[in-house]
Structure 1
Amino acid sequence: MITPQEQYLLRQVQTASPGELTLMLYNGCIRFMKQAETAIKAKNAPVKHEYIIKAQNIIDELQVTLNSKYEISSNLDNLYSFMKSQLVRANISMDTAVLQNCIELMTELRDTWAEAIKQLKNGQVSS
């Protein structure tokens, strides 16, 4: 049985544009990294591991969606690979500083993406 919250999320995903879906991935990744950080502070290794794996899975999905015909895709791929390696490091060492760096990087990407979507909706982006 699907909960009302799951129904709402499903509806959001089904009606979202590709840009909005990417924004949802960024938001989910940030949320999971913050939850992993909380678990590290609570010294809860199994929960920390679960959330870091979820964040890595989202980064994998972001990498798969990159379009290699754009030069920025190579840069993003390198950044995503770096973040995944840092998440492995944070997972092994229980290092919140490493995790915080990943959160900051992903937040900057998310904010840039959100601004691009906003400009596109307002017709401010030229092709």
Structure 2
Amino acid sequence: MSIQKQYQTYRNNAVNTASGGELTLMLYNGCIKFIKQAMKDMESARFEAKNSNIQKAQKIIQELMVTLDTDVVISQQMMPLYDYILHQLKEANIKNDPAFLEEALTYVTEFRDTWKQVIKQTRQSRYAQGRRV
């Protein structure tokens, strides 16, 4: 089995066995990766690649929007922020202005970092409860 095939199998297994929280973290990380790549593409005047990477980031944000539980107050507050990120990505794509990508990246990175902390605290809480039993 080739290294590339082994890596793909590993990635598939990671996604298939991840919790909902871990999948959300993967989405944030993917979005960050695509925004950063779009920034490089924009800098290098590779406009087709820039467009493709921005579209991938937009699809991830749209997926995050679809999966929000609108019965939860924080989700209701997140929706306009996701909508704003989508707007920034669209403007970056239309205007070829990296400032829009930088702002979108700032928000997505903050959300990812916060989500990491939530996962960490949840795991610590579960571990602590498990030890007391």
Q: Same fold (TM over 0.5)?
A: yes
Q: Distance in 2 between matches of 1:56 and 1:3?
A: 28
Partner of 2:13: 11
For residues 22-61 of structure 1, give each alpha carbon's deviation from its aligned partner in whole angstroms, at most 9, with x where no partner exists.
0000000000000000000001110000000000000011
Q: Distance in 1 between matches of 2:12 and 2:71?
A: 31
How far residue 117 of structure 1 moved from its aligned partner, in angstroms, is 0.3
1:30 matched to 2:69: no
The 4+ residue runs of structure 1 with deviation greater than 6 A are: none
Tell me the matched-pair count. Answer: 124
Q: Distance in 2 between matches of 1:93 and 1:4?
A: 40
Of 47, 61, 64, the match for 1:62 = 64
Partner of 2:125: 123
Amino acid at match of 2:34: F
Q: Distance in 2 between matches of 1:12 and 1:58?
A: 18
How far residue 8 of structure 1 moved from its aligned partner, in angstroms, is 1.1
Of 67, 91, 94, the match for 2:93 = 91
Query: Among the aligned pairs, what percent are the same residue?
Result: 44
Of 96, 103, 116, the match for 1:114 = 116
Pairwise CA RMSD: 1.4
How far residue 4 of structure 1 moved from its aligned partner, in angstroms, is 1.9
Which runs of 5 or more structure 1 residues have no equivalent in the other structure? none
Q: Distance in 2 between matches of 1:31 and 1:9?
A: 16
Give the number of the structure whose residues are more often helix, by fraction. Answer: 2
Amino acid at match of 2:62: D
Q: Give me the TM-score of the superposition, normalised by structure 2.
A: 0.90
Q: Distance in 1 between matches of 2:96 and 2:28?
A: 22
SS at match of 2:125: coil
Greater Rg, structure 1 or structure 2?
Answer: 2
Q: Distance in 2 between matches of 1:20 and 1:109?
A: 13
